[in-house]
A and B are shown apart, each in its own frame.
Chain A
């Protein structure tokens, strides 16, 4: 009663043609479509009359790269739980929390910068542990659990800061990290490269990354090859929280102030980039290079449009649209790859 398959198949079935590999060109297009689109976009903004004077300048490039580091680190944080099939919607709130924790530890409590930074990252890891415990051990749906912690954290941050921006006493070393350059490259970019290398290494070059992908592909199968599924899920949230903490420290450094309001806004941008990234480079898989490309693509689009004179509505509209297109595309790719067309 459990199978609808013929019990006594004949040689006719054995001869069934195995599914063919996709044509090379299509595979190439799928991998690099986003990259090609990105290059075309850059060319367009460089040549179009409205932006030709402002877009292709070193200053603008530095500005985009410098400020996108925060979103990029947040996006990289979010692909860790996404790889094992879980959403983390608290990325943005943790960014806000970490920037307040680091800021107030250094400015208000006069702790050494290194300790303040550590506390900021630690606060993210703690929230991540809580998320992971809810999802992995209490069985709460990740969307709801992280939405809940996200709102809770934002509330507590606003309670602690009384919604005041913390701008006095942020150590110079942090501000230098945020706005300074080394060899002509914004320093936040070095931090981003470090995080990207770490996440890339973890996901691609360690058994841990493979285990995460296995849990994401099929939790039951993962359990039956001996993996501890709850531990994988829990640890992915801890990592996501800690990396979001790093993003929070970068935000503080970049802005020079700790603003309790801005954190939560990063979640959507991070997820858009992550899902855009899953359509590129290694289609159907959340991957580091794709995610970075996704961040750049959204950033350059918004930047170009703003330079062209578009108003405030551009950013949220574009982020929302990008997320929807990306999710639809990456779902379609994943379905096709799993043979469920």
Chain B
């Protein structure tokens, strides 16, 4: 391994012995990152490898464990004392996947919000001067838009570039600082990615130092000079990209050799198909085919933005399908609204518990019965007593704490909230249960409880479609998994092949089939 010996080179950003521990679990161990002036340095790693943690430590959002050091262009401190203001004075600029620009404001206003407006002596905004300055910045960053355009009207790549320009506009020398891009292309469509990459190449050629976090290996090889790979919180290697292939990169990320890259699709012969999807097109989905069997947990693996959540929403009628056929229990099924999907026997636990599933200000009981309110309508009134009894027994069965059906749902811990949402849907004995990140932000005990209940439902015949970005969990829980990539099912694995490394490989390796 050619670990970078940056001694002779001009190092702009250096971390030594950087570690981070959450509640006894080390998520980043002894990271020694070295970024040289003027290079594009990629940071790679699978889900949970620690790269997001590393970025948040650099930004000063998380506090590192004692013992490490961070140094950026002469600003240097013990890692456990590193703060956002130090990051700023060292010239670290962060642009995240969601570029956080203001759509309702103009380009000029968006730039001015980063540094303040040019004002006249009386405190009025000096618009001509602001516009002139904006034009200069736009030229410096080769952004071909007018200062007066509303940002909402820009194409996505330009919005990201605008965020970059806003972050970098104050650098004294044109390219002094370090630009940290955290998955800037994750939510961009393919053709927009090209535009952004072209711009980044231009900045890099002009000498801008860039730290680039991405899942897309082809981009990394194209753009970066060197790459640092993290796995399970440890720094695996730092390499020049010049002689690296995509396969070698995957090997570094996954941590083992690639014997069988292309799997044979397992042909599961079964005639109890509950849900069969053919050529489903909806939102980012570009033709999904899959079969789900009675009593099966089918995992859906894929990277951020691959279309895995969209698949669930389309099946639940919350995202309108534009083409394709679905058969549910032998009947043609074309969900137009969640209510229809529910009637057909489908249940969905959405990804964002706080805003999409929970009624935070209502009681646990009301949350539990949200999916079955009409069942309590008898003799011209809601049967509160029956509802209360049912809720009590659910609270007990799911071990919700505090053990009361009258507490306000928003005050419970994440794990208990999720148990309530699970109970709400499982009490309907759904034919098909769609789970989107069901254990996100949930403690270990609750996670085990949740899967215990999923298993019980499966034993009773429910079919489950499970999306989770924790591939270890997925490999553990699912009977079979499909890998979704670019809105299509790219692979299917089962049996011995179903392990987290394999899923990571497959999520990365299938080449984009550009539209």
Show the binding face of A for B, using Cβ within 8 Å: 1-14, 16, 18-21, 201, 204-207, 209-211, 213-214, 217-218, 220-228, 284, 334, 337-340
Contact = CB atoms under 8 A, between A and B. Distances in A.
A335 to B, nearest CB: 9
Contacts of B56: 4
A214 B56 CA distance: 36
Interface string B393-412: 00000000110100110111
A301 B376 CA distance: 41
B412 A19 contact: yes
Interface in B424-449: 424, 440-446
B337 interface: yes
B342 interface: yes
Most buried by B among A12, A205, A218: A218
Contact of B415 (A14, A223, A337): A14
Interface in B41-59: 47-48, 52, 56
A5 B370 contact: no
A230 to B, nearest CB: 12
Nearest to B55: A1
B25 A221 contact: no
Interface stretch (B158-166, B241-249, B359-367): B359-367
Nearest to B371: A225
B357 interface: yes
B366 to A, nearest CB: 7
A284 B23 contact: no
A339 B408 contact: yes
A8 B26 CA distance: 9
Interface string B354-381: 0111111110001001110110110001
Given A5-B414, A19-B411, A338-B411, A10 B444 contact: yes
Most buried by A among B370, B377, B382, B446: B370
A250 to B, nearest CB: 27
A211 B376 CA distance: 13
Contacts of A334: 361
B411 A8 contact: no
A1 B99 CA distance: 13
Given A3-B440, A8-B48, A214-B359, A226 B371 contact: yes
Contacts of B402: 18-21
A224 B358 contact: no
B371 A337 contact: no
A228 B337 contact: yes
A21 to B, nearest CB: 7
A18 to B, nearest CB: 4
A337 B411 contact: yes
B97 A1 contact: yes
B176 interface: no
A162 B339 CA distance: 50
Most buried by A among B337, B371, B441: B441
Interface residues of B, number: 63
Contacts of B52: 1
A337 B361 contact: yes
A340 B409 CA distance: 12
Contact of B381 (A206, A214, A226, A340): A206
Contact of B404 (A8, A21, A221, A340): A21
B337 A340 contact: no
A10 B379 CA distance: 49
Contacts of B371: 225-226
Nearest to A11: B444
A224 B48 contact: no
B416 interface: yes
B183 A1 contact: yes
Contacts of B377: 206-207
Nearest to B369: A210
B336 to A, nearest CB: 12
Contacts of A10: 23-25, 444
Contacts of B470: 7
Given A5-B440, A11-B445, A13-B23, 15 more contacts: A1-B183, A10-B23, A14-B445, A21-B402, A21-B404, A207-B376, A210-B369, A214-B366, A217-B362, A222-B359, A224-B338, A224-B350, A226-B338, A226-B339, A337-B410
A225 B356 CA distance: 9
Contact of A1 (B304, B338, B373): B304
A10 B443 CA distance: 7
A9 B22 contact: yes
B326 interface: no
Contacts of B441: 3, 5
Given A14-B443, A14-B444, A338 B360 contact: yes
Contact of B411 (A214, A221, A227, A339): A339
A218 B356 CA distance: 8
Contacts of A214: 359, 362, 366, 370
Contact of A223 (B48, B186, B338, B362): B338
A319 B273 CA distance: 65
Nearest to A218: B359
Most buried by B among A7, A228, A334: A7
Nearest to A209: B382
B413 A16 contact: yes
Given A21-B407, A220-B355, A338 B374 contact: no
7 contacts: A11-B443, A19-B407, A206-B381, A218-B358, A226-B371, A337-B361, A337-B411
Contacts of B492: none
B220 interface: no
Contacts of B404: 21
Query: Ordered nearest first, which 3 A-B pairs have the shortest CB separation?
Result: A226-B339, A14-B445, A5-B441
B182 A213 contact: no
Most buried by B among A9, A19, A201: A9
A224 B413 CA distance: 21
Contacts of B357: 221, 224
B444 A6 contact: no
Contacts of A284: 361
Given A1-B182, A19-B412, A224-B338, A9 B361 contact: no
B96 A1 contact: yes
A284 B22 CA distance: 36
Interface string B460-478: 0000000000100000000
Contacts of B410: 337-340
Contact of A13 (B304, B369, B444): B444
B95 to A, nearest CB: 12
A9 B23 contact: yes
A39 B339 CA distance: 48
A43 B105 CA distance: 58
B27 interface: yes
B307 to A, nearest CB: 16
A217 B470 CA distance: 31
Contacts of A224: 316, 318, 338, 348, 350, 356-357
Given A18-B401, A19-B402, A225-B371, A206 B382 contact: yes
Contacts of A226: 337-339, 341-342, 371
B360 A218 contact: yes
A228 B402 CA distance: 32
